[in-house]
Amino acid sequence: MLSSAGFRSLSFHLSVLAAEAGRLILDISRRGAEVQEKSDHSPVTDADIAAEELLLAGLGRLLPGVPVLAEESASRGEAPLPGSTFLVVDPLDGTREFVSGRREYTVNIGLVSEGRPVLGVLHVPAYGRTYHGAESAGAARALHEVGALPVEEMFEPIRTRTPPPGLMALTSRGHNDAATEAFLDKLGVVGERQRIGSAYKFALVAEGSADIYPRFGPTMEWDLAAGHALILAAGGDVLSPEGEPVRYGKTDEGYRNHAFVAWGRVTR
Q: Which helix (H) or strand (E) covers residue 166, if one does?
A: none
| Whole-number average pLDDT of the chain | 93
| 260-263/237-239 β-pairing | antiparallel
CA–CA separation, 213 vs 211, rounded Å? Answer: 7
More confident call, 172 vs 220: 220
**The pLDDT value given to residue 44:** 95
Q: Does residue 154 register a pLDDT over 90?
A: yes
Domains recognised in the chain with CATH numbers: 4-158 (3.30.540.10), 169-263 (3.40.190.80)
On whether 223 is known to bind a ligand per the annotation, the reply is: yes
Q: CA neighbours within 13 Å on the CB side: how many for 85? A: 8
- 135, 234 contact by CB (below 8 A): no
On whether 93 is known to bind a ligand per the annotation, the reply is: yes
**The pLDDT value given to residue 239:** 96
On whether 45 is known to bind a ligand per the annotation, the reply is: no
Nearest to 70 by CA among 82, 62, 85: 82
On whether 122 is known to bind a ligand per the annotation, the reply is: no
- 33, 46 contact by CB (below 8 A): yes
Q: Does residue 39 register a pLDDT over 80?
A: yes
Nearest to 58 by CA among 70, 46, 47: 70
Confidence band (pLDDT; 50, 70, 90) for 168?
Answer: confident
More confident call, 121 vs 162: 121
On whether 160 is known to bind a ligand per the annotation, the reply is: no
On whether 92 is known to bind a ligand per the annotation, the reply is: yes
On whether 71 is known to bind a ligand per the annotation, the reply is: yes
Report the SS3 class of residue 57: helix
* Cβ neighbourhood burial of 98 (10 Å; 0-12, 13-18, 19+): buried
Confidence band (pLDDT; 50, 70, 90) for 175?
Answer: low
